[in-house]
Amino acid sequence: MHIEEKQLLDFILDSGMVSRSDIDAAKKLAKEKRSSVGKILVDQSKLSDDELRRMQAYVLGIPFVDLKNQKLDFEILSLIPEPIARNHNIVAFKKMADTLEVAMLDTEDLSAIDFVKKKTRLKILPRLTDNESMKSVLVQYQKSLKAEFGDIIQKEVGTIKALSDKVKGDADSEAGLKKLAEDIPVVRVVDTLLKHAIIQGASDIHIEPMENEVLVRYRIDGLLHDAMVLPKDAGPSITARIKVLSNLKLDEKRLPQDGRFKVAMNNEKVSFRVSMLPTYFGEKTVMRLLRESVSGFTLEVLGFHGKGLELIHEATKLATGMILTTGPTGSGKTTTLYT
| Average pLDDT of the segment spanning 34-55 | 84
* Of residues 220 and 168, more confidently modeled: 220
Residue 182 has pLDDT above 80, yes or no: no
Query: Do the Cβ atoms of 57 and 91 come closer than 8 Å?
Result: no
Cα 211 to Cα 33, 159, 279: the distances in Å are: 46, 21, 11
Residue 183 has pLDDT above 80, yes or no: no
Residue 167 CA, distance from chain mean position:
37
Q: How far apart are CA 109 and CA 107, in angstroms?
A: 5
Q: How far apart are CA 186 and CA 292, in angstroms?
A: 26
Give the angle subtended at the CA of 327 by the CAs of 119 and 303, to the nearest 5°: 45
The DSSP output letter for 169 is G
For all residues of the chain together, what is the average pLDDT?
Answer: 83
| Average pLDDT of the segment spanning 84-107 | 90
Rounded to two decimals, the pTM is 0.56
Which residues have C-beta within 8 Å of that of residue 333, sequence separation ≥ 6?
325, 326, 327
The DSSP output letter for 149 is I
- The string of pLDDT tens digits covering residues 126-178 is 999 988 899 888 888 766 655 666 666 666 666 665 555 555 555 556 666 67
pLDDT of residue 271: 92
Residue 97 has pLDDT above 60, yes or no: yes
pLDDT of residue 177: 66
Q: How far apart are CA 202 and CA 217, in angstroms?
A: 9
What percent of the chain lies above the pLDDT cut of 90?
22
Q: How far apart are CA 320 and CA 322, in angstroms?
A: 7
> Phi/psi at 297 (nearest 5 deg)?
-70, 145
pLDDT of residue 31: 85
Q: Got the DSSP string for 14-65?
A: HHTSS-HHHHHHHHHHHHHHT--HHHHHHHTTSS-HHHHHHHHHHHHT--B-
Residue 77 has pLDDT above 80, yes or no: yes
